[in-house]
Homo-oligomer: A and B are copies of this chain.
Amino acid sequence: MDEPLDDVLRAVEAALFAATEPMSVEALSNHLGGVSVRPALAALAQHYAGRGVNLVERGGKWHFQTAPDLAHILRRAHEEPRRLSRAATECLAIIAYHEPVSRAQIESIRGVQTAKGTLDVLMEAGWVRVAGRRDVPGRPVIYATTQAFLAHFGLASRRDLPGIEDLRAAGLLDPVEEAYDRAAGEGGVPAAPDGASDPSSARELP
């Protein structure tokens, strides 16, 4: 490539580069004043074969395109950390404990409707997959967790999920009020607000 390049080759290279559409041999030749462009096309195709850009023929028309193995360069993924929403976290937990579950089951456990996007997020994160359809009327889609889910949460298997008793022992199943009472007792909070609203004392008044 050190010797000066042939003018036709340079012209063909530039014309194809600047063209807004793939060009046929005839169109190229006409554009360059009727010269024969085939040898230049062949030489260029060979020159660009191993490069980041290739010269290719498609349906009799020539154009430059990104080398197929570099196609990923055209699309760069930029990852942004985002916290999973409360709803999505609950769905994920329910799926993990009850899988495979349908959306209706998830909703019945959560007690609220689940937005379509919530499950999409979990699938996008790669933690939940569609595990088929349940063989009941309506054949609802059922969901299950994935290998990536186990990997992300450091679980060898779903059996490693803490059982209900573990959750209870950790206080995670306590109703909110009891948790408050205990916190109030431990912290030495004066009993006044509690006693004041205690229904039992009110009932004994005449």
Contact = CB atoms under 8 A, between A and B. Distances in A.
Given A50-B4, A51-B5, A77 B10 contact: no
Oligomeric state, in copies:
2
B77 A13 contact: no
A76 B14 CA distance: 13
A77 B1 contact: no
Contacts of A136: none
Query: How many residues of A sit at the interface, in one of the four size bands?
Result: 20 to 34
Contacts of A76: 31, 33
Contact of A53 (B14, B52, B66, B70): B14
A112 interface: no
Interface in A33-70: 33, 47, 50-53, 64, 66-67, 70
A157 to B, nearest CB: 25
A18 B52 CA distance: 10
A17 interface: yes
7 contacts: A4-B50, A5-B50, A10-B51, A13-B51, A15-B77, A18-B77, A19-B77
Interface of A: 1, 4-5, 9-15, 17-19, 31-33, 47, 50-53, 64, 66-67, 70, 73-74, 76-78
